[in-house]
Amino acid sequence: MEWIVDILMKPFGPAHLAIIFALVIWLGIKLGKMKIGGVSLGVTFVLFVGILVGHLYNVFVVEPNATTEGFSEMMHQQKLIINFVKELGLILFVYCIGLQVGPGFFATFRKGGLGMNILAIATVLLDVLVMLGLFFIVFYEGGDPQNKNNLAMMTGVMYGAVTNTPGLGAATNVLPSFFPADAIPQIGNGYACAYPLGVVGIIGATILLRFLCHINLDEEYREIEQAHESDPQAKPEHVTLQITNKSIEGRTIQELAGFLKRDFVCTRCIEGDQMFIPKEDQVLHVGMRLYLVCPEADTAAITAFIGDRIDIDWTKEIEQTQFVSRRLVVTKHEVEGKTFQDLHFRTLYGVNVTRVTRAGMEFFAEKNFRLQMGDRILVTGAEENVNRLKEVIGDAVKRLDHPNVGALFLGILIGCLVGMIPIPIPGVSVPVKLGLAGGPLVVAILIGAFGYKFKISSYLTTSANLMLREVGLVLFLAGVGVQAGATFWETVKNGGLTYVWAGFLITVIPIIIVGLIGRLKLKLNYFTLMGMIAGSHTDPPALAFANQTANNDAPAIGYSSVYPLTMFLRILMAQLVLLLVIPLV
DSSP letter at 227? H
Q: What are the pLDDT digits (tens) for 296-352? A: 778 888 888 898 888 877 665 555 556 677 888 888 877 877 888 888 787 667 777
pLDDT of 497 strictly over 80: yes
More confident residue, 248 or 9: 248
The DSSP H or E segment spanning 266 is strand 265-271
- Give φ, ψ of 525 to 5 degrees: -60, 145
Which candidate, 213, 224, 297, 308, places its Cα nearest to that of 263?
297
Q: Is 290 within the bounds of a domain?
A: no
Q: What integer pLDDT is reported at residue 158 of this predicted model?
A: 94
Q: What integer pLDDT is reported at residue 13 of this predicted model?
A: 64
Q: Is 85 within the bounds of a domain?
A: yes
Q: Is 250 within the bounds of a domain?
A: no
Distance, in Å, from the CA atom of 453 to the CA atom of 367, rounded to the nearest integer, reads 19
Across the range 370-381, mean pLDDT stands at 81
- What letters, b where the CB count within 10 A reaches 16 and e where it falls short, cover 301-315? ebeeebbeeeeeebe
The DSSP H or E segment spanning 546 is helix 540-550
Confidence of residue 512 (pLDDT cuts 50, 70, 90): very high
Confidence of residue 66 (pLDDT cuts 50, 70, 90): confident
| Domain tally, the chain | 1
Distance, in Å, from the CA atom of 331 to the CA atom of 399, rounded to the nearest integer, reads 7
pLDDT of 529 strictly over 80: yes
Q: Is 57 within the bounds of a domain?
A: yes
Q: Is 264 within the bounds of a domain?
A: no
More confident residue, 64 or 360: 64
Range of the domain at 36: 1-219+415-582
Q: Is 32 within the bounds of a domain?
A: yes
Confidence of residue 33 (pLDDT cuts 50, 70, 90): confident
pLDDT of 406 strictly over 60: yes
pTM (two decimals): 0.66
Q: What integer pLDDT is reported at residue 129 of this predicted model?
A: 95
Q: What are the pLDDT digits (tens) for 262-282? A: 778 787 888 887 888 787 788
Q: What are the pLDDT digits (tens) for 97-136? A: 778 767 766 765 665 578 888 999 999 999 999 999 999 9
Across the range 20-44, mean pLDDT stands at 80
Q: Is 517 within the bounds of a domain?
A: yes
Confidence of residue 518 (pLDDT cuts 50, 70, 90): very high
Q: What integer pLDDT is reported at residue 2 of this predicted model?
A: 66
Look over the chain and give the mean of its residue pLDDT values, rounded to a whole number: 80
Q: Is 476 within the bounds of a domain?
A: yes
